[in-house]
Chains A and B, each alone.
Chain A
Amino acid sequence: DIQMTQSPSSLSASVGDRVTITCRASQGISNYLAWYQQKPGKVPKLLIYAASTLQSGVPSRFSGSGSGTDFTLTISSLQPEDVATYYCQKYNSAPITFGQGTRLEIK
């Protein structure tokens, strides 16, 4: 099975900072990669699919890039409401696999 590894596991940044989270697949998955945001006690929210396509309604400060095995989620200017845990997910075929998550906090 394909494993998804996120880095870092946790991250602290200041409001206005540019933040980058990395996700690496153990095998190539083309662009079958999604990113989710989950706030405490809430349901995961889809941010990006197909590695770089922004889901409708998601602020444009979020962006995704990558293909094959290496992917990134970037927040161009961190806002207080972005405090959450972020997950990548590969979905090219079953079994679906999520990364272990990156907890993002405000410094």
Chain B
Amino acid sequence: EVQLVESGGGLVQPGGSLRLSCAASGFTFSDHYMDWVRQAPGKGLEWVGRTRNKANSYTTEYAASVKGRFTISRDDSKNSLYLQMNSLKTEDTAVYYCARGPYDSSGYYPYWGQGTLVTVSS
């Protein structure tokens, strides 16, 4: 069974940093692209970014709203995905989900974690 478990959320001041983790199990993590999606309180879903697999050189892509501030990485040996968030803004307050497609490179998401809440506030 595919499982994705996020951690690392919490309260951080504007301008601060936070690192989220997503622990994966139940599938061959190294084969898959992995994405981060967020949802601000009471708002819709927003794609944050993606890391591709080793076969595609672990390349990453980001939403314009986070490019240059957020970095997605992965450690295939630990079956883990990470989101390093720097220069945080109040508008980054959201539940952050890691998500996976049905096969290695698909962009729709049958699999989601339960989410971790990030609150950016002074």
Verify B64–A46 contact, CB threshold 8 A. Answer: no
Give Cα distance in the complex from A85 to B50, angstroms.
24
- The reply to whether A97 and B47 contact each other, CB–CB distance below 8 Å, is yes
Q: Which residues of B contact A99 (CB under 8 A)?
A: 44
**CB nearest neighbor in A for B112:** A43
Which listed residue (A32, A34, A95) contacts B47, Cβ 8 A?
A95
Q: How many residues of B contact A (CB 8 A)?
A: 20
Q: Does A101 contact B (CB under 8 A)?
A: yes
| Bound CA span A97–B49, Å | 11
Query: Given known contacts A89-B108, A91-B108, A95-B63, is B47 in contact with A43 (CB within 8 Å)?
Result: no
Known contacts A43-B97, A95-B64; 14 additional CB pairs below 8 A are A32-B107, A34-B109, A36-B45, A36-B109, A43-B115, A44-B109, A49-B108, A87-B44, A89-B108, A91-B107, A94-B47, A95-B63, A96-B50, A98-B47
Residues of chain B at the chain A interface (Cβ within 8 Å):
35, 44-47, 50, 61, 63-64, 97, 102, 106-110, 112-115
22 contacts between A and B (CB under 8 A): A1-B64, A34-B109, A36-B109, A43-B97, A43-B115, A44-B112, A46-B110, A49-B102, A49-B108, A85-B44, A87-B44, A91-B107, A94-B61, A95-B47, A95-B61, A95-B64, A96-B47, A96-B107, A97-B47, A98-B46, A99-B44, A101-B45
